[in-house]
Amino acid sequence: MASMEGRRRGLPNAAVTAMVLAIAIVFFFSAAAPLASAASVEHTFVVSQTKMTRLCKETLVTVVNGQLPGPTIEVREGDSVTVHVVNRSPYNITIHWHGVKQVRNCWADGVPMVTQCPIMPNKNFTYWFNVVGQEGTLWWHSHVPGLRATLHGAFIIRPRHGAASYPFPKPHREIPVIIGDWWEKDPAEVARNMTKSIFSSYASASTVNGLVGDLFNCSGVAKEGYVLDVEPGKTYLLRIINAGLFSEFYLKIAGHKFTVVAADANYVRPFTTEVIAIAPGETVDALLIADAHPGRYYMVGLPNQAPLPDTQTPEYATRGMVQYMVSQGPCSGTEVGCRGPSADVPIVPKMPDIHDTVTSFYFHSNLTSLQHHAHLLVQQRVDQRMFVVLGLGTICKQGHKFCKRGDSDEDILVATMNNVSFLPPTSKSLLEAHYYHTGRHGMTQDLPKMPPKLYNFTDEALIPFGPKEMRLEPTYKATLVRRFQQGAVVEIVFQSTAMLQGDSNPMHLHGHDMVVLAQGLGSYDPVKDGARYNYVNPPVKNTVLVPNLGWIAIRFVANNPGVWFMHCHYEFHLSMGMAAVFIVEDGPTMDTSLPPPPVNFPTCGHDIDLMPKDFYLHTKKSET
Ligand SMILES: *[C@@H]1O[C@H](CO)[C@@H](O)[C@H](O)[C@H]1NC(C)=O
Ligand SMILES: *[C@@H]1O[C@H](CO)[C@@H](O)[C@H](O)[C@H]1NC(C)=O
Ligand SMILES: *[C@@H]1O[C@H](CO)[C@@H](O)[C@H](O)[C@H]1NC(C)=O
Ligand SMILES: *[C@@H]1O[C@H](CO)[C@@H](O)[C@H](O)[C@H]1NC(C)=O
Ligand SMILES: *[C@@H]1O[C@H](CO)[C@@H](O)[C@H](O)[C@H]1NC(C)=O
Ligand SMILES: *[C@@H]1O[C@H](CO)[C@@H](O)[C@H](O)[C@H]1NC(C)=O
Ligand SMILES: *[C@@H]1O[C@H](CO)[C@@H](O)[C@H](O)[C@H]1NC(C)=O
Ligand SMILES: [Cu+2]
């Protein structure tokens, strides 16, 4: 209330801001005080370009601290994290902490032009945030189109009291397994080209922990792959992340099963499976028990393709190896020094077909929450319902209203939600416009709650260019937003379509987790499908995979004030506009409102009209 006084007395805005900031900090630390063990974890991320050799060729890549994957951030729940980002690359950079809820801290979410102006070359910026109420595997990546191909790393959150309080037996070791792509072309340019309908470049290989593996053999020599040394009988926790730009992967290890224990930093009821299906943006924690005959076993990552007649893009399997350490020669075999890698011929796992989407559907259906979330969902009140249809469409070039569509060069292909494609703002970030109330009227447009046209969404005749889909092609671009009142319970059904493609879409929401109530194939039927929602133990995710030619129903509570990106995590859909922004309004109290921006918050290189926000005076009066 002190700052309300301050404003009445006419203190300069900067002083008010500083006071609000001070109060916010005091508030945070006092809230965090009971966590005696909470630590502050600090990193410096130098983003620069460096040459790396894969596939017998030196390629210039943009990485953090010279590493691919980038550094792993390891914290305990309750810790605060400080990352100094120093940009020595030629690109505008942001870093997004994928899945970190950033409670009342949208400023640190790292989405260019949505939550911040990017960090320009030769500038730096310090991200600060705390990690509360989440445990498991998340990751960080650049949110600049394309660049997350090489700017990414694991983000591991252990329980506050350490690994002994995992809800599963304490593993012998924990291993990040990051699946990614190797690009010989500049992925930033590839993404830029996609916004202009130029699809000329694809990844050259897939990787496990940055290595392409021995399925790639340029110059006739098999390439190095990731090797996990295991001791017989021990249990390993694999923290699996799909950092790839384009593909969902099937991951298998010959001769072994996985026990899945968490996904997207939420524990799941453990289940056993031979194959893990992981879409871009998802994470899966799985236990691997080294209980096979001590030998060598390939670990294969196979990208899957949308079923025909959908467009097929060049994609490559990658493999690493699980290698048992066995006793060697003359030693007794009990001393550690006597152990060496097994020399057995490595065993190859049998992978699903590249067009198999059912295995992924089952894998995702098998995820259920370990905790029961009935308390959230028995609250059957839903304040806003949305039906969001995902598809592709076309826009005529040069702003023309009419043009030849259907695989012509007069139009560009874009990706849509409810028949609108996202137009990123260019002059200032949406979060600043929201916070300072400086958004020009007409700068944004509401994401429609419903698609403008109902059609047979999953009619496969819509996949290839042709007369049937042509009527549905025309669309347009807008900076799509949807506003939610603080605390609103939102239900969204995402429907994927056959509109020019049948891809499955991993939809990622920033700042909130979603509960997955149900998923299915074909078109969503509110009566039939609504009746089979799981209110008992629905999985909790930050990225939900909309099944190929199917739908998924989710709910979330819009209780984190700020401006949050919601988008498809397939990079090509994202750069083509399958995105929108959810604005969660401030509540009536300080702890339901967004504090001011951190110091040295990057600007877009020109003055911003620093209108003070009615931080305290704002109430819900106008709405009640
Ligand atoms: C970031 O930039 C400021 C001013 O340019 C400089 O004082 C500071 O040392 C830099 N921080 C890092 C981590 O390089
Ligand atoms: C981007 O498109 C241009 C124009 O067609 C082409 O010359 C260039 O090679 C493309 N870049 C990449 C990385 O694909
Ligand atoms: C190289 O890899 C290809 C495809 O996996 C395979 O068919 C070929 O036999 C390999 N060549 C060598 C020399 O290993
Ligand atoms: C779980 O996966 C198995 C196959 O691995 C499948 O048979 C089963 O139907 C799945 N469960 C659900 C609820 O989909
Ligand atoms: C929608 O299209 C699919 C695939 O062509 C077809 O099986 C289904 O019967 C159609 N549904 C309706 C309601 O027409
Ligand atoms: C999108 O809107 C345009 C213009 O109103 C219309 O021509 C087109 O058929 C619509 N497409 C879909 C998929 O709703
Ligand atoms: C980088 O950001 C600045 C400031 O927002 C902008 O003026 C510039 O055009 C951007 N550069 C690129 C390459 O996007
Ligand atoms: Cu998508």
Q: Are 339 and 312 in contact (CB under 8 A)?
A: no
Tens-digit pLDDT profile for residues 533-555 = 998 899 999 999 999 999 999 99
Q: Which has more pLDDT, 113 or 38?
A: 113
What CA–CA distances, in Å, run from 39 to 95, 113, 132, 134?
A: 22, 31, 12, 15
Nearest CA to 494 among 361, 381, 386, 358?
A: 386
Going by CA atoms, what residue is nearest to atom 2 of ligand 6? 475
Domains and CATH numbers, the chain: 36-165 (2.60.40.420), 373-594 (2.60.40.420)
Ligand 4 atom with the shortest distance to the CA of 365: 14
For residue 365, report the distance from its CA to the centre of ligand 4, in Å.
7
Ligand 2 atom with the shortest distance to the CA of 200: 14
Task: For residues 281-293, give the mean pLDDT.
Answer: 98
Q: What percent of the chain has pLDDT above 70?
A: 88
Tens-digit pLDDT profile for residues 561-580 = 999 999 999 998 999 999 99
Q: Are 68 and 205 in contact (CB under 8 A)?
A: no
Task: For residues 499-509, give the mean pLDDT.
Answer: 90
Task: For residues 92-116, give the mean pLDDT.
Answer: 97
* The pLDDT of residue 329 is above 80: no
Greatest CA separation found in the chain? Answer: 86
Strand order in the sheet with 562-568: 445-446, 480-484, 579-584, 562-568, 505-509, 543-546
Q: Return the number of other C-beta atoms located less than 10 Å from residue 404's C-beta.
A: 11
* The pLDDT of residue 618 is above 70: no
Going by CA atoms, what residue is nearest to atom 8 of ligand 5? 459
Which of 276, 366, 519 for mutating ligand 4's site (highest number of atoms within 8 Å of CB)?
366
| Residue 330 pLDDT class (50, 70, 90 cuts) | low
Nearest CA to 48 among 117, 111, 121, 100?
A: 121
Output the pLDDT for position 38: 82
Instruction: Give the bridge partners for 273, in sequence order.
Output: 258
Predicted model pTM: 0.90
Output the pLDDT for position 621: 27
Does any ligand 6 atom lie closer than 6 A to the CB of residue 419?
A: yes
What CA–CA distances, in Å, run from 623 to 219, 481, 585, 588?
A: 69, 19, 12, 11
Which of 46, 88, 120, 124 for mutating ligand 1's site (highest number of atoms within 8 Å of CB)?
124
Task: For residues 591-609, give the mean pLDDT.
Answer: 79
| Residue 440 pLDDT class (50, 70, 90 cuts) | low
Tens-digit pLDDT profile for residues 345-377 = 999 999 999 999 999 999 999 999 998 665 565
Which of 217, 223, 319 for mutating ligand 3's site (highest number of atoms within 8 Å of CB)?
217
Exposed/middle/buried for 609, CB within 10 Å: 0-12, 13-18, 19+?
Answer: exposed
Average of per-residue pLDDT values in the chain: 88
Residue with tokens 């909130």: 512
Ligand 1 atom with the shortest distance to the CA of 124: 1
Ligand 4 atom with the shortest distance to the CA of 271: 1
In a 3-state reduction of DSSP, which class is residue 563? strand
Tens-digit pLDDT profile for residues 164-183 = 899 999 999 999 999 999 99
Contacts for 524 with CB less than 8 Å, ≥ 6 apart:
387, 493, 495, 551, 553
* The pLDDT of residue 100 is above 60: yes
For residue 474, report the distance from its CA to the centre of ligand 6, in Å.
5
Output the pLDDT for position 31: 40
Output the pLDDT for position 332: 58
Please provide residue 151's backbone torsions phi and psi, each rounded to the nearest 5 degrees: -100, 85
Ligand closest to the CA atom of residue 572: 8
For residue 396, report the distance from its CA to the centre of ligand 7, in Å.
26
| H/E run at residue 21 | helix 13-32
Task: For residues 13-36, give the mean pLDDT.
Answer: 37
Ligand closest to the CA atom of residue 456: 5
Q: Return the number of other C-beta atoms located less than 10 Å from residue 466's C-beta.
A: 12
Q: What would the two tokens of residue 215 be?
A: 């399925």
Nearest CA to 474 among 452, 444, 506?
A: 452
Output the pLDDT for position 8: 26
Q: Which residues have any ligand 4 atom within 6 Å of their CB?
A: 273, 362, 365-366
Exposed/middle/buried for 476, CB within 10 Å: 0-12, 13-18, 19+?
Answer: middle
Q: What would the two tokens of residue 403 be?
A: 């043009």
Output the pLDDT for position 448: 97
Q: Which residues have any ligand 7 atom within 6 Å of their CB?
A: 92, 117-118, 120, 604-605
* The pLDDT of residue 508 is above 90: yes
* The pLDDT of residue 7 is above 80: no
| Residue 609 pLDDT class (50, 70, 90 cuts) | very low
Give the chain's end-to-end CA distance (angstroms, integer).
23
Output the pLDDT for position 505: 95
